[in-house]
Every structure is written in C-alpha cells, then in structure tokens.
Amino acid sequence: MNATKTIDTTGIDIEKIRADFPLLSRKVNGKPLVYFDNGATAQKPNRVIEALNHYYRFDNANIHRGVHTLSREITLAYENARNTVRKHLNAANPYEIVFTKGTTDSINLVASSFAKKYISRGDEVIVSVMEHHSNILPWQQVCEERGAILKAIPINEAGELVMEEYYRLLSPKTKIVAVAHVSNTLGTINPVKEIIAAAHAKNIPVLLDGAQAVPHIKVDVQELDCDFYCFSAHKVFGPTGVGILYGKEKWLNAMPPYQVGGGTIKTVSFEKTEYADLPLKFEAGTPDISGGIGLAAALDYVNEIGLDAITEYEHGLLQYATTEIKKLKDVKIIGTAKEKAGVLSFAVEGIHPFDIGTLLDQLGVAVRTGHHCTQPLVAFYCIPGTVRVSFAFYNTKEEINIFIEGLEKAIRMLK
Ligand code: 7TS
C-alpha cells in the first residue's frame, strides 16, 4: 500500500517500519494486503527472518550437551536469548524464564504441574468469562481430574471484569487465579494489579495470560508481582512454535517437572532420578532453538521502536477506527471497556460475521471472524461471534479507511 509519508507524533516512522515486514507488500485477491489479524499472529520483520536463516545456515547444533565449538556457541546464544526475554519482562533471574511451545503450552505446564502439588478435592480455581480457551481448558481438565471446582469471574456489558464478584469468589478454597492480561476478543486491559493484590492478600498465586498484552504494552513482572506470566513469540513478531513461561523462583522450584526426558535431569538411574535446576527442569527434549533466537530478535526489534511509542500509536489507530465504525448503521462494538488495547470487535445486526469476513477478504482485508476461541464470552453476548480487527504498529489510518469502505460495501450487499 502507499502509506503517506508520516513520522507520527509518537515517533513511529511508518514507512520505514512497513519496509521491515516483507509480507506487508504482498497482494491478496489482487489488492494490497490490509493485515488486521495480528491477534491471531503477527507478521515478521526481516530481522527475525534473517535470524532464523542465519541459524540454519551457520549456527545449527544442539544446546546444553556438546563440548564442540558449534554447540558451545549456540548454547550461549540461546541463553542470551533467554536473558533478552528476562530483560523484556524485567524478571529478576534468567532461570525464571522457561522456553515453551507458546502460551497454550505454558498454561498447560502450570496447570498440570501446579495441580499435582497444590490442587485437591474441593479446592477452587478462578478464571474469567473472557478467557481464551487456552486459559480455561487446562484448568477445567485438572479440576475434573482432581475433583476441584472451576469458577469464572463474570463480566459486564462493556466487557470489564466485575471486580466485586471477583473479591467474593476468592476464598480459602481458592488455590490459583488465572486471567488474561488483555482479552483477545474484546481488547479489555484487565486491572491485573488489583487482581494480584487481592489474591496475594489471601496467599493465592496469580497466573497472567499475556498473549495479547506483550505485543502492545510494557510488562514488568516484578512490578505486577504476578506469580506466572505466559506469552507466545508469534504474536510479538517472532516465530511460531515457541513461547515463554515466567514463574517466580519459589513456585517453579516447588513444582514437579511437567514433561520429563533428556535435558531435565542431573543424574538418572533405574533406582532414582535427580532433576535439573531451573529452568532446565521444565525444558524436556531439544527445544525450538532457532525459535528462541528468533524471539530475542523480535523483542530487540520491538524495543528499538519502543513500547511506549507502540502503545500510543496503536491507541490512536483504535480511537480512529472506533470513531469511524460508530458512523455505520447496525454495527455494534463488542467490548467497550475504558482500558483497551488495539482490538476492535463488532457485530452487525442480521449479518453473520463469516459473510463480512469473506467479503472483506475479497478486498484484501484480513480480519478474524467467529468466536476467537472464547465461546463462553460470545455466549455471554448471545451472538455467534464477532468480526475482529486487531492492530499492530505497522498498521495505518489509510488501511482503516480501506477497511471501513469495504465494511460499508459488505453491509450494503448483505442487507
Ligand atoms: N491466550 C490468549 C489471550 C490468546 O489470544 C491466545 C491466542 C492464546 C492464549 C493461545 O496462544 P497460542 O500461541 O498458544 O495459540 N489467540 C488467538 C486469537 O485471538 N486468534 O487466533 C489465536
């Protein structure tokens, strides 16, 4: 697309940034691509693509096991990547950063391992109505296995957690609270500091699902004081197949390994196995080495642009899109929380979201349609799903104009 030459007041040099993402210059259905499905996965800058390429061309070896040069070099690079993640989240120690396959894997790790030690019959786990299925099902499964009860914090019509209800749900039976930092369907930024403070007052740990937060806002796990924090590399401009679990040392040390095998041990015999120290205790088998390195390259890139600038720029996009979409008849925004990240979900009266998504696709506009893996949430709104626009810092107001024009056209055709 022809982005007009703008260096935004936030300092975002949009032309330069867009040139860093080769896929953005692709055409789709003969039209310049407008990529508004960043909540599903974000596009990758050259920096990340080159890091992956370089790894396989020049650096490939296994980590944590060889005395030869390649293995030592790549072990160092992988551990440096871990430290880049530590710095990004402001975790106290690199061994509190566990490489996983992604957010879903991170949550499964905590649910499974934490439950083995701490959850038994009659205990309770608190999630919320707005959670992604990845932050419901692992808890539902361990609750079923252990005879525990899963409770959900309700939301109001705006898509905000009803905090009084949350405070009421916290009880001596509550063993852990697991909530999204930012909702993938609504964009709501949850009041996680209040959530954590209230849980900690009762000695209950809190896991934050940060899949939709890390790409958009600064996250400081020490300031938040969360016990666990999860995110996926692919949503923060890194590769697929890799993600992060941050856990406070005291919890990770106390929890049993999740999966076991090569890499997780100090000594093995048929009589007794002694497991490795953190973080290796939780990293069974050969990991996605290039993925970890690619994630570090992505975080370096994001930090060069600056998260404050990104948050402000995306806020501008969200405000603009919200104002423009409100001008259209029969469109109802789903998720009108006071605090929102760059997600705009909506429903159009009498039209199925898939039909709108399909027509927008013909115009080169990629949006997500459906329940977004949040079925309890869309059930709350009594709708089959939404059309969701989710922004990244490489999107522009010009793209929003193309989308709004396309949406108007789609509504006219489908009404
Ligand atoms: N948690 C949240 C809040 C998410 O948005 C997602 C993915 C996940 C967990 C799972 O992440 P994964 O990387 O392990 O798959 N959300 C979406 C979405 O909104 N559209 O596609 C995937």
pLDDT tens by residue, 202-261: 999 999 999 999 999 999 999 999 999 999 999 999 999 999 999 999 999 999 999 999
Topology of the domain covering 50-303: Aspartate Aminotransferase; domain 2 (3.40.640)
Q: How far is the CA of 132 from the centre of ligand 1 (A)?
A: 7
Q: How far is the CA of 302 from the centre of ligand 1 (A)?
A: 20
Burial of 68 (0-12, 13-18, 19+ CB in 10 A): exposed
What's the token pair of residue 129?
């109505």
Active-site residue 226, yes or no?
no
From CA 388, how far away is CA 333, in angstroms rounded? Answer: 10
Atom of ligand 1 nearest to the CA of 185: 19
Atom of ligand 1 nearest to the CA of 101: 14
> Going by C-beta distance under 8 Å and a sequence separation of 6 or more, which residues neighbour residue 311?
216, 217, 218, 341
| pLDDT the model gives residue 125 | 99
Tell me the pLDDT tens digit for each residue of 64-117.
Answer: 988 999 999 999 999 999 999 999 999 999 999 999 999 999 999 999 999 999
Q: Residue with the nearest Cα to atom 16 of ligand 1?
A: 40
To test the pocket of ligand 1, the residue of 105, 139, 208, 232 to mutate (highest count of ligand atoms within 8 Å of its CB) is 232
H or E segment to which residue 2 belongs: none
Q: Say if 14-44+306-414 and 50-303 have the same CATH topology.
A: no
Tell me the pLDDT tens digit for each residue of 252-295.
Answer: 999 999 999 999 999 999 999 999 999 999 999 999 999 999 99
Q: Residue with the nearest Cα to atom 5 of ligand 1?
A: 184
Tell me the pLDDT tens digit for each residue of 170-193.
Answer: 999 999 999 999 999 999 999 999
Q: Which residues line ligand 1 (CB under 6 A)?
A: 39-40, 102-104, 132, 134-135, 180, 184, 209, 211-212, 232, 368, 372-373
Atom of ligand 1 nearest to the CA of 106: 14
Q: Residue with the nearest Cα to atom 7 of ligand 1?
A: 40
From CA 367, how far away is CA 389, in angstroms rounded? Answer: 5
To test the pocket of ligand 1, the residue of 38, 103, 345 to mutate (highest count of ligand atoms within 8 Å of its CB) is 103
| pLDDT the model gives residue 11 | 87
Give the CATH number of domain 14-44+306-414; options: 3.30.70.100, 3.90.1150.10, 3.30.2270.10, 3.20.20.70: 3.90.1150.10
Q: How far is the CA of 40 from the centre of ligand 1 (A)?
A: 6
Which pTM was predicted? 0.97
Catalytic residue among 143, 226, 373, 382: 373
Q: Where are the domains of the chain?
A: 14-44+306-414, 50-303
Q: What Å distances lie between residue 95 and 115, 188, 268, 327, CA to CA?
A: 22, 31, 22, 50
Q: How far is the CA of 59 from the centre of ligand 1 (A)?
A: 31
